Amino acid sequence: MLERTPVIAESLAGKRIAITGSTGFVGTALVERLLRSVPDCELVLLIRDGKRTKGPERLRREILKNDCFDVLRRQLGGAVPFEEVTTRRIKTIAGDVSADGLGLSAADGAILASCDVVIHSAAAVAFDSPLDSAIEINLLGPTRVAQALQGLGVAPHLVAVSTCYVAGNRRGNAPEELVSAGPFDLGLDWRKEVAGARRLRSDLDAKSREPEALRRFRHEARTELGAAGTPALASKTEQLRTRWVHDELVEAGRARAASLGWPDAYAYTKALGEQALTESKGNVPVSIVRPSIIESAYAEPRPGWIRGFRMAEPVILSYARGLLKEFPGVPEGTVDVIPVDLVVASIIAVAAVGPDRAPAISQVASGSRNPLKYRTMIDCIRDYFTEHPLYDAEGSPILVPEWTFPGRGRVQAQLERAKSIMTRTEKLLQALPLRGKQAEWTAKLEDKKTEVERALEYVELYGLYTECEAIYSVDNLMSVWDMLDADDQAAFCFDPAIVDWTTYITETHLPSVVEHGRAKSTPGKSNIEARPQRLRKQVLSEERHVAAFDLENTLIASNVVDSYSWLATRRLPTEDKIRYVLQTLKEAPSLLSLDRKDRSDFLRHFYRRYEDAPVAQIETDVQELFTKLILTKSFPAGIRRVREHRALGHKTILITGALSFVVEPLRPLFDEIVASSMTIKANGRYSGELSEVPPTGETRAQVLADYCSSLGLRLDQSIAYADSTSDLPMLEAVGFPVAVNPETRLAAIARKRGWLVENWSKSPGGPRPLLPVAATRSKAGAV
């Protein structure tokens, strides 16, 4: 029997402890527990600088603002300010475990070397990380940390956090020993795996730049964005290229891991990371801690505390919302789950007992000591959501299904079929000229498709874990437990046997999941107007600077074809009007196609029809055009919105591809109008040619930027109203984009990005001809 002595507080008090991965779930819990429970230890947090945020600011925003520190704040009670304690006891150093030398400066390297203990918890924890990223962080990260600590007289004790799933897809006992050459002793060389992953990244990047691939990405970009302009299409094309490389690397990680007997790239790279660390540690004493599936806290800092969604939460909520009818798994199998506070306590205990007494590897798992059966977990979840259902947007309770236990292949096949049907339907709807509320059908369909894709992803990522039949030994972990006295065991409990799974799942974990996921857990209709009202309030704030408006389908239900048709038929006899209407309707598909490809090209092409139109006649007719067509097709809510902006002191600007003489009567509404203009020939007739680039696509964004700059106003405090993806550059340029009566593509984009959507309509009772034509006044002088 080992002698039990007080270990933890005494051993770590006054010590300098470095932590990597402190912005993550386990890392944040470690920082909180050490500050609260180990007096006067000093923490050194290695934090990677963000693009805009340095390490100290990330500490404040991403770690110390977390509600897990509320317990410490209450303990301090105001006698010592929380900020004073954290400033005195926490130091940040800028570093990156994916960079050689950890990216440390000489000064920060010296600080790290001065530590007594280094806890390495940084990891690419996503089960679908790209292979190269997982290799750099999970495989090489621990080795880089050890190398940074080598060559010292007395090297710090390195406690490396790994995972039980390094054991791979085995059945039966999984002991606490090094998996040195793959789960089935395949003789793997981690150096060759690193070289292969890096080479694959380079090869895929080169392949993504081949002409055929770039043409495909360009086509996909145009399909998604339509005539959004060259800059937007170029940006989307590059985004699709980099996403393709990313997705190929994710698939490569899955395939490589599966071929070697691991469930995913995370477990595969973690296993090889242990091998690399063991071979490369030099004089650095190393202890490895392997948790199983880490979930919400059992007790510390409070029951149910969680940060970010772990593995089970998305699946649980999808089931509770009725989105996931089935999920693969073995009902009599063991789901190895461990609360985060037990993991944190075990890491601290291993650090405290020191490298001479701590085991080389300790597994923190429940399966061998206090198993949770898959059927028990599912029954608890079903019973909980039967008694405490979630509610849909209409306020009706969502009935959870009886969850069967099918094979992974069957569930995947069902979801793949649903995804395929939705994809075909989505393409069909996008081809139709829908807009406004009708276009929302496509956006809602896309939401449903995303739900199916997410469910499919869960099955692909997590299915293997629910089917895993490995039982992880915790003999080494319990040997550390036996070194502790009763006080330490009470203060830093990590014995998996303490958890009553039914109580933990139904009274601690599931309520936390519902709260954390912001799921609707009360009856009554959702206030679906809450978000639009909030966004509308932001748009109509006095703080805004400029309100920019498109015209067609944004302020009026008309377009350049309608305006031309009215003017062109103004003086035609009835029989000629009929011929004109029939001919224009015949041309409509080709005109629509050209407009969708490039708005500027369409305008140049269509405006050629004004060639030789008499300027004087147009100036006379346009006044009646305004009253007979523009006003009758205007959206009263849109006109009111312009006036609201003016009343608030905002500058208003109309940016339209319509011809200047058509929109001139609207000038009293706006501080500025930018429209297409046409050159005039010496004989007083229009040339049919534009005098400058029409304000469409990216040109609109530049016009608005120049306007704001000329007045000393800010784009990020401005609003833009538009209806089409061709207006994306302008919508994306401002701080407050508004999609008005959006066509299908823009409706989907606006929904995805959380933009305000307005559906404005004409006054009821107005004429609705297929093509507006003017009443006949004379038989002479047609345009």
435 and 330, same structural domain? yes
> What percent of the chain has pLDDT above 90?
55
> Which residues touch 97 (CB under 8 Å, ≥6 apart)?
20, 21, 46, 120, 122, 137, 141, 144, 145
Regarding predicted confidence, which is higher, 614 or 310? 614
Residue 574 covered by a domain? yes
What's the CATH code of the domain at 725?
A: 3.40.50.1000
Q: Are 235 and 222 in contact (CB under 8 A)?
A: no
For the ranges 115-119, 229-233, 690-694, the lowest mean pLDDT is seen at: 229-233
3-state secondary structure of 3: coil
Q: Are 123 and 270 in contact (CB under 8 A)?
A: yes
Residue 271 covered by a domain? yes
Residue 549 covered by a domain? yes
pLDDT band at 516 (very low <50, low <70, confident <90, very high): confident
Instruction: Report the mean per-residue pLDDT for the chain.
Output: 86
Mean pLDDT over 366-389 rounds to: 92
430 and 353, same structural domain? no
Neighbours of 693 (CB within 10 A): 14
Mean pLDDT over 209-221 rounds to: 95
Range of the domain at 213: 204-259
pLDDT(425) > 80:
no
269 and 251, same structural domain? no
* Torsion angle (degrees, nearest 10) of CA 731, 737, 740, 746: 50
The predicted pLDDT at position 1 comes to 38
Residue 477 covered by a domain? yes
358 and 426, same structural domain? no
Q: Which amino acid is at 93?
A: I
For the ranges 236-250, 287-301, 459-473, 571-585, the lowest mean pLDDT is seen at: 459-473
- pTM score: 0.79
Residue 638 covered by a domain? yes
466 and 353, same structural domain? no
3-state secondary structure of 654: strand
479 and 467, same structural domain? no
The predicted pLDDT at position 311 comes to 60
pLDDT(771) > 80:
no
Regarding predicted confidence, which is higher, 210 or 78? 210
pLDDT band at 165 (very low <50, low <70, confident <90, very high): very high
Regarding predicted confidence, which is higher, 106 or 748? 106
Nearest alpha carbon to residue 44 among 130, 102, 99: 102
347 and 433, same structural domain? no
The predicted pLDDT at position 44 comes to 96
For the ranges 340-344, 409-413, 538-542, the lowest mean pLDDT is seen at: 409-413
**What gap in Å lies between CA 556 and CA 633, rounded to an integer?**
5
Residue 767 covered by a domain? no
pLDDT band at 497 (very low <50, low <70, confident <90, very high): very high
The predicted pLDDT at position 95 comes to 93
The predicted pLDDT at position 601 comes to 86
433 and 467, same structural domain? yes
pLDDT band at 773 (very low <50, low <70, confident <90, very high): low
The predicted pLDDT at position 781 comes to 46
595 and 743, same structural domain? yes
Residue 409 covered by a domain? yes
Give the helix ranges, DSSP H, for 226-372: 230-260, 265-280, 312-320, 340-353
CA 58 to chain centre: 19
The predicted pLDDT at position 332 comes to 81
Residue 349 covered by a domain? yes
Is residue 417 packed enough to be buried (19+ CB in 10 Å), middle (13-18) or exposed (0-12)? exposed
Mean pLDDT over 20-47 rounds to: 94
For the ranges 532-536, 601-605, 763-767, the lowest mean pLDDT is seen at: 763-767
How many domains does the chain fold into?
4
pLDDT(782) > 80:
no
What is the b/e burial string over 715-732, where b = at least 16 CB atoms within 10 angstroms of the residue's CB? Answer: bebbbbbbbbbbbbbbbb
pLDDT(327) > 80:
no
31 and 129, same structural domain? yes
Mean pLDDT over 494-521 rounds to: 92
Q: What is the pLDDT of residues 131-159, one digit of tens each?
A: 999 999 999 999 999 999 986 667 899 99
> What percent of the chain has pLDDT above 70?
86
Q: What is the pLDDT of residues 69-116, one digit of tens each?
A: 999 999 888 778 899 999 999 999 999 999 999 999 999 999 998 999
The predicted pLDDT at position 6 comes to 55
The predicted pLDDT at position 205 comes to 97
pLDDT band at 420 (very low <50, low <70, confident <90, very high): confident
pLDDT(246) > 90:
yes
Mean pLDDT over 623-630 rounds to: 87
What's the CATH code of the domain at 105?
A: 3.40.50.720
- Please state whether the peptide bond connecting residue 301 to the residue before it is cis, i.e. omega within 30 degrees of 0: yes
pLDDT(630) > 80:
yes
Q: What is the pLDDT of residues 542-568, one digit of tens each?
A: 999 999 999 999 999 888 888 888 888
Q: β-pairing, 686-690 with 678-680?
A: antiparallel
**Residues forming a β-bridge with 653:** 548, 672
The predicted pLDDT at position 431 comes to 60
The predicted pLDDT at position 573 comes to 83
40 and 131, same structural domain? yes
612 and 649, same structural domain? yes
CA 400 to chain centre: 27
Nearest alpha carbon to residue 751 among 742, 760, 763: 742
